[in-house]
Structure formats: structure tokens, C-alpha cells
Amino acid sequence: MSDTAADPRLLRAPPKRGLRLSWADERFRAIIWQVLIVGVVAGVIWWLVGNTRHNLEVRRIATGFGFLTREAGLPIAESLVPYTPASTYARALLVGVLNTLKVAVIGVVLATVLGTLIGIARLSKNWLLSRIAATYIEVIRDLPLLLQLLFWYTLMQTLPGPRQAMHPVEGVFLSNRGLRLPWIQWEDAHSFALLGMVVGIIAAVVYGRSARAKQMQDGQPRKIWPAAVGLIVGLPLVIWAAWGAPFQGDIPALRGFNFQGGMSISPEYFALLAGLVTYTAGFIAEIVRAGIQAVPGGQWEASEALGLQRGRIMRLVVLPQALRVIIPPMTSQYLNLTKNSSLAVAIGYQDIVSIANTTLNQTGQAIEGIAIIMGVYLTISLSISLFMNWYNSRIALVER
């Protein structure tokens, strides 16, 4: 009789096991250990909580998050949403979170770009370029970030005042009150155009997918980029034109002691961003270099032997392998940059740590304040970690 019937090893299910209450039983011993250790930890936590309750009572410190609805009375220099010192603490903390995200998101993008460029420069055949990149990486990584931030901030403070501001290009002013750039007056048309760009990007991706699917079916490659450019650039332009094509410049001009108009970047933000970006770029450069070097030379050779061209080799063979090595440590650096932005409190940029710190000083509620800080960062870290794990399992190489 042939054995192509069901595998006989799948026919019966395993039995359940009982537990013997004896020290010699391995599982019993494990349970006792766990009960002991959890008990000790719980006991210590109970003692700490007891002390804390007592101390809070004695010092007449309030507990709970009721303070969030009270008026903050806290001046905040820059905010992405409307805020006045009459707003609540909850709103102040929200401004803090947004300020942190403002530095983290832009920092991550700039650090990635700079870091990738430096990493590639490090691998260049030009000796001078590669040595300069290596020196940059080594120096940045051997100095504390706080020192670098203080350095950038001091640099900003030694810039001349607004009246003698540096003026490299028309409309751009650099002084010790920050950087001023020309901007446009933002109208509804611009908002819609921005929305149109987002829609255009999604549409371009969808179009790219369907073009690739069609290529798989009939073997004919299709040019994606004309349609993509049309969607990503053309669509917003069309929308903007349809709403009247407004374009009113907002040029900064010196009025009295400072500039008015245009887009302003505070010296604190600039110093924080510059310090974080240059620091993290040093680490990203090493990651990119390791990733590119991790792809064996044989991959290039085999691809060339098959007749593939350089662009395709990069896209289909080298980059996918390099990215697998690059992405986990890269994500960890993004997390580091976000956590490092907490150093803003040392140079006066009001991120969540700075505002929560002031809050807890004003209300005396240290535990709630620190809990808020930790909660915000934990949320960001765990989301990024979850995303990373999901992405990693998706692209993991299948092995035995």
C-alpha cells in the first residue's frame, strides 16, 4: 500500500500533563522560583509606593491629572498650534509634543540624506574624499552630543544682531535672532495643491504597481516616470491654477529691532536641528557603509554576467540586500534622534521635556510630569519598534 495517504504523524494529538507537588519536579520548582521573585519585586514596589504616598501627603502635593485643565501661565516661544499663556496645561503639553515631532521628523529626514551622502563618500575611490568623510565620522562619534549642541548654540549667539545680519542671498537673513527665509502668503489654493500632491503620490504608486503587473503578464516594460511626474507635479499645479494661482511673496524686512514677515527659524531650533542632524548623520553614515559592503562582490559579478545593467542591478539585486542590513540599525538611530531631541531643555528649545519640566516645577507634581514625558517617548518608541518588527518579518530571508 503506498504511503501517499495522510502523514500518519499527524493523526494523534499530544496528551496533557499533570503537575506533581514535589521539589524534585522541574516544573514545580520553576513555579516556586517565579512566585518568589515576583513576590520580592512586588514587595519592593509596594514599599516604594507606600513611602511615596506618605511623602506626598506630608508635603501637601496634589496627585492626579487634574492640573491638566488649569491655566498654564507658561510662555512658549514657538508653537505649531495657537497657544497663549492663558491656555491649559494640556494644551501646553500638546505644543511640547508637536515641537518634539517638528524636530524629530525633519531631523530624521535631513540626517538620513546627509548620512547617506557621507556613507557613500566614505566608500569613494577618491582618497581625499574618503578620508575627510572618515574624519568627520570619527570626530562626531567621539564627542558628546550635549557638547555639540552647546557649541552650535554658542555659535548662534555669537552671530551679529539683526541690524548687522548676514545677508548671503536676497531675502535670507542670518542673525543671532535666528534664520529668516522668504515664504509665500499661504492661501487655500496652496492647501488644496498640497493635498493634490499627496493624492498624486498615491496615484503614482498605484499606477506603478499596475504597470509592473502588466509587465509580468506580457513581458513589455512600461515607462512609469512620465505619468508619475505628471501626477506628482502636474496635478498640484493644475489645482493651484484652478483656484486662481495666487502667489504673493512674504519677504522678511527689518522693522525696528527685528525682522517681520517671512518664515522664521529660531536660533534654538536651528542649533538643535543642526546638532542632532550632524551627530546622527555620523552614525547613519557608518550604517550605510556597512550595508553596502555587506553585499558580496559576487552579486555584482553574477548580475553582470547575466547581462543586467547597472541601474537594474542596483535596484533588483544590491539595494534589496543592502537594505535588509541597513534598516534595523537605521531605525534604531531614528529612535535615538527622537530621544536625543530631549536635550532641547539644555539650550532653551521648548520641546515636551522642557515644558513638562516647567509644569512639574510649577505644580509640584513630579510623578505625573515625568510619567507624561516617559509616556510620550514610550509611545513613539514602541510604535517605531512594532513597525520595524513587522517590516523585518516581511522582508526576512527565508532560511531552513
Partner 1 sequence: MSVTTETAVASAARTDAPPAILLDKVNKWYGAMHVLRDINLSVAEGERVVVCGPSGSGKSTMIRCINRLEQHQEGRIIVDGIELNDDMRNLDAIRREVGMVFQSFNLFPHLTVLENCTLAPIWVRRTPKKEAEEQAMEYLRRVKIPEQALKYPGQLSGGQQQRVAIARALCMKPKIMLFDEPTSALDPEMIKEVLDTMVMLADTGMTMICVTHEMGFAQQVADRVVFMDRGEVVESGTPSQVFNDPKTDRLKMFLSQILRGH
Partner 2 sequence: MSDATHHAPAVPADTPSRRPPITVVGPVAWARASLFSSWLSTAVTLALAYLLARWIIGFVDWAFINAIWSVPVNAQGAQTQACRALQGAGACWAVITEKHRFILFGTYPYDEHWRPLVCVFLFIGLYIVSAMRRFWRKELALIWAGVLFLIGFLMWGGALGMPYVPQERWGGLVITLILSTFGIAFAFPLAVLVALGRRSRMPAIKMLCVVYVELIRGVPLISLLFMASVMFPLFLPEGMNIDKLLRAQVAIILFAAAYLAEVVRGGLQALSRGQYEAADALGLSYWQKTLFIILPQALRLVIPPLVNTFIGMFKDTSLVLIIGIFDLLTAGKTAIVEPAWQGFGIEVYVFVGIIYFIFCFAMSRYSQGLERGLNQHRVR
Q: Which residues fall within 8 angstroms of residue 85, CB to CB, at 6 or more apart? A: 71, 72, 73, 74, 75
What type of residue sits at position 145? L
How many angstroms separate the CA atoms of 211 and 220, rounded? 10
The SS3 assignment for 396 reads: coil
CB-based contact 136:284 (threshold 8 Å)? no
349: alpha, beta or left? (left if phi > 0; alpha if psi -120 to 50): beta
How many angstroms separate the CA atoms of 289 and 42, rounded? 46
Considering only 3, 142, 170, 218, the residue that binds partner 2 (CB under 8 A) is 142
Considering only 27, 54, 70, 312, the residue that binds partner 1 (CB under 8 A) is 27
Q: Rule CB under 8 A: is residue 5 a binding residue for partner 1?
A: no
Considering only 331, 333, 340, 358, the residue that binds partner 2 (CB under 8 A) is 340
Which of the choices partner 2, partner 1, none does residue 382 contact, using the CB cut-off of 5 to 8 A by kind?
partner 2
> Pairing relation of β-strands 178-181 and 173-175?
antiparallel
CB-based contact 239:192 (threshold 8 Å)? yes
Positive/negative CA dihedral, 358, 361, 363, 366 = positive
Which of the choices partner 2, partner 1, none does residue 227 contact, using the CB cut-off of 5 to 8 A by kind?
none
Q: Rule CB under 8 A: is residue 6 a binding residue for partner 1?
A: no
Which of the choices partner 2, partner 1, none does residue 13 contact, using the CB cut-off of 5 to 8 A by kind?
partner 1
Q: Rule CB under 8 A: is residue 146 a binding residue for partner 2?
A: yes
- Of residues 283 through 302, those in contact with partner 2 by CB under 8 A are none
- Of residues 105 through 124, those in contact with partner 2 by CB under 8 A are none
The contact set with partner 2 (CB under 8 A) reads 30, 33-35, 37-38, 41, 48, 51-52, 54-56, 58, 125-129, 132, 138-139, 141-147, 150-151, 154-155, 158, 339-340, 342-343, 345-346, 353, 357, 360, 366-367, 370, 373-374, 377-378, 381-382, 385
The contact set with partner 1 (CB under 8 A) reads 3, 7-15, 17, 20, 22, 24-27, 29
